[in-house]
Structure 1
Amino acid sequence: MREPDDLSGLSMFVRIVEEGSLSAAGRALGLPKATISRNLVLLEKRLGAPLLIRSTRALSLTDTGRRFFDRVQPIVRDAQQATAEVKSDHASPSGLLRITASVAYGQAAIAPRLLSFMRRYPAVRVELHLHDGRVNLVNDGYDLAIRMGPIKDSELISHKLADITMVIVASPSWLEQHDVPQRPADLARHAAVVTRSDMIRWRVGGETVRVPWRMSTGNMIVTRDAARAGLGIAFVPEFLALRDLERGSLVRLLPDVELPVMQATALYTRAAGQSAALRALLDDLLASRPIEVDAADTGC
């Protein structure tokens, strides 16, 4: 009779101990009780020591069996986890992905990729939420969050998706009524449209300038639209303003002054990262073309 390989023998022994009986282990593994008993005998014969004391009512571990169980149970668990991960790596993406993204970047960069991704993987369902508020991935039940700006939560796994160039803009009508800024400090004399009321300290040319805000929009697209309507200056991603800059409905301010580059980042938990669907989507996003090519999709 061919002996079972070491790992299957160890796995079966661990399951017997965990289930408390040969019959229960057989039911858990989908094997006859006789097969479980035979493989246990083979394992004990190979080791040269009894592992279990059998009685009509229960099983108990010998001293050797207890020490052996304590040593091999973590090994079996690690092997089972490794096997599950390999199977997951090669599984076809399927299931539900709940994704949250900031409105501007989500509309410009994420939504178009999702459409092509879902055509390739028909077994994947996606629930997409576009909003600019902060979320807690675990508490709010999201698999993936995509955000622009600095990331503070170090417990999440993060991947940079893109560097986003920023611009300071104003409408021609605004500049007809106000002096055109010549240096960063001049921005403080202009009313600003901001996405949040605490976003009033702009890093411009190595200086920090505090601008007075007139309107807080809660949304970068609305911020751009308000600047285009002549309500004040705005600090927005270049891809949002690109079409308006080309048409002349917005003017770039301080074009020769260095501005910070904002990052778009994908965030997810380690547990969510086990999903074949999420890994396939991340591969798509990380291999995608630059954000600027989708600027026309933001309503510019």
Structure 2
Amino acid sequence: MRELDDLSGLSIFVSIVEEGSLSAAGRALGLPKATISRNLALLEKRLGAPLLIRSTRALSLTDAGRRFFDRVQPIVRDAQRATAEIKSDHAAPAGLLRIAVPVAYGQAAIAPRLLAFMRRHPAVRIDLHLDDGRVNLVSDGYDLAIRMGTIEDSELISHKLADVHRVIVASPGWLEHNDVPRSPGDLARHAAIVTRPDLVQWQIGGETVRVPWRMSTGNMILTRDAARDGLGIALVPEFLVLRDLERGSLVRLLPDLELPVVQATALHTRAASQSVALRALLDDLLSSRPIPVDAAPW
């Protein structure tokens, strides 16, 4: 007799066991109970052994049925996942994506790419949250988060987006009343504008300097604006102050010394990676085209 040459019979058998009855399996698969029963009988006939003990109230596995189920369930699940992946590869991106991005990087680098992405994929909706806090993708319900700096969430899938260079700046007005720093140690004599009170250990030129902070803003754009207004020195992403440096409203301090580069990383859960829309967006963000950085957020 011809051996079973497809997975339909195996899939029906697995569904019967998981659902607990032929009727429940039929509802789950969208098939009549008679079709479920006929396929099960055909499978048992081909195997030459009964798989299930059926009564009016209960359904249980025979010893052969238990061993067979343990072997074929992973095969059926792998086949179902492979089928879903192939189908999704040919599906157009659609649906809602919830994304959390730091404010400055989101406005300057990510938002322009998102706008272009949405023009190409009209069936995608995006719920964008610009937030300098660290969200929990699972409990807060985000499909994608972009973070700056060291990534510690080992259970999340990460993708490096870009290296973000930083500079130390001050306004000309601030430097009129305070000595221009000549070495990293001189920074400790200047009041600093920081985004958080704990970010006072600055590494520059291989040295670590603790700077006294005057204002903690919670926001990188406000940090830049406060430095521009002459309230102190600031350590900020270079893209955020390019126009200020060109116009002279901010001055770069210790330009010959190197600062550590911060990495921008995209994070998502394994479950979210099944989304066609998310995979399409990641392909766009990770493409060979550089992520545009507009130094604008004014």
TM-score (norm 1): 0.92
* Aligned residue in 2 for 1:286: 286
Q: Is 1:72 equivalent to 2:97 in the alignment?
A: no
Taking the aligned partners of 1:261 and 1:71, their CA distance within structure 2 comes to 50
1:16-70 CA-to-partner distances (Å, cap 9, x unmatched) read 3333443443333233334333322322222222223455665443322222122
CA distance in 2, matches of 1:2, 1:30: 27
Alignment of 1:29-48 (within 5 A): 29-48=29-48
Report the Cα distance in structure 1 between the residues aligned to 2:22 and 2:81, rounded to whole angstroms.
24
Please report how far the alpha carbon of residue 74 of structure 1 lies from its aligned counterpart in structure 2 after TM superposition: 2.4
Asked whether the 8 Å contact 1:117–1:281 carries over to 2, the reply is yes
What are the within-5 Å matches in structure 2 for residues 1-300 of structure 1?
A: 5-55=5-55, 59-287=59-287, 289-290=289-290, 293-299=292-298
* Kept after mapping to 2: 8 A contact 1:15/1:25: yes
Deviates more, 1:72-81 or 1:226-235: 72-81
CA distance in 1, matches of 2:290, 2:247: 21
Cα 1:229–1:85 change in 2 (3 A) is: same
Q: Does the 8 A contact of 1:49 with 1:64 survive in 2?
A: yes
CA distance in 1, matches of 2:113, 2:126: 12
Q: Residue 4 of structure 2 contacts residue 46 of structure 2 at CA under 8 Å; is this kept in 1?
A: no
Q: SS in structure 1 opposite 2:176?
A: helix
Higher mean displacement: 147-156 or 190-199: 147-156
Aligned partners of 1:246 and 1:253: how far apart in 2?
14
**1:133 partner SS:** coil
CA contact (8 A) 2:241 2:295 kept: no
* Alpha-carbon separation, structure 2, partners of 1:3 and 1:131: 58
Distance 1:188 1:54 in 2: 81
Comparing 245-254 with 61-70, greater Cα deviation is found at 61-70
TM-aligned CA deviation for residue 116 of structure 1: 1.0
Structure 2 alignment gaps of length 5 or more: none
TM-score scaled by length of structure 2: 0.92
The range that moved more, 135-144 or 40-49, is: 40-49
RMSD: 2.1
SS in structure 2 of the partner of residue 138 of structure 1: coil
Q: Give the whole-Å Cα distance in 1 for the aligned partners of 2:200 and 2:173.
A: 22
Q: In the TM superposition, what is the alpha-carbon distance from 1:143 to its structure 2 partner? A: 1.2
Name the SS of the counterpart of 2:198 in structure 1: coil
Q: Distance in 2 between matches of 1:172 and 1:56?
A: 88
Question: Residues 11 and 76 of structure 2 are in contact (CA less than 8 Å); yes or no, is this contact kept in structure 1?
Answer: yes
Q: How far has the Cα of 1:75 moved from its partner? A: 2.0
Aligned partners of 1:97 and 1:125 also within 8 Å: yes
- Relative to its length, the structure with more helix (as a share) is 1
Deviates more, 1:71-80 or 1:91-100: 71-80
Q: Aligned partners of 1:122, 1:194: CA distance in 2, in Å?
A: 40
Closer, same or farther in 2 for the Cα pair 1:200/1:18, shift >3 Å?
Answer: closer
Residue identity matched to 1:111: A
Q: Distance in 1 between matches of 2:191 and 2:163?
A: 27
Give the unaligned 5+ runs of structure 1: none
User: How many angstroms does 1:112 deviate by?
Assistant: 0.8
CA–CA distance in structure 1, aligned partners of residues 54 and 151 of structure 2: 58
How far apart, CA to CA, are the structure 2 residues paired with 1:256 and 1:52? 77
Question: In 2 relative to 1, CA 189–49 (structure 1 residues): closer, same or farther, beyond 3 Å?
Answer: same
Q: Secondary structure at the match of 2:296?
A: helix
Residues 254 and 86 (structure 1), Cα distance of their counterparts in 2 relative to 1, 3 Å cut: same
Given that 1:243 and 1:295 are in contact with CA atoms closer than 8 Å, whether structure 2 keeps it comes out as no
Give the distance between the partners of 2:18 and 2:66, measured in 1 at CA.
12
Total equivalences in the alignment: 298
- The aligned amino acid for 2:195 is T
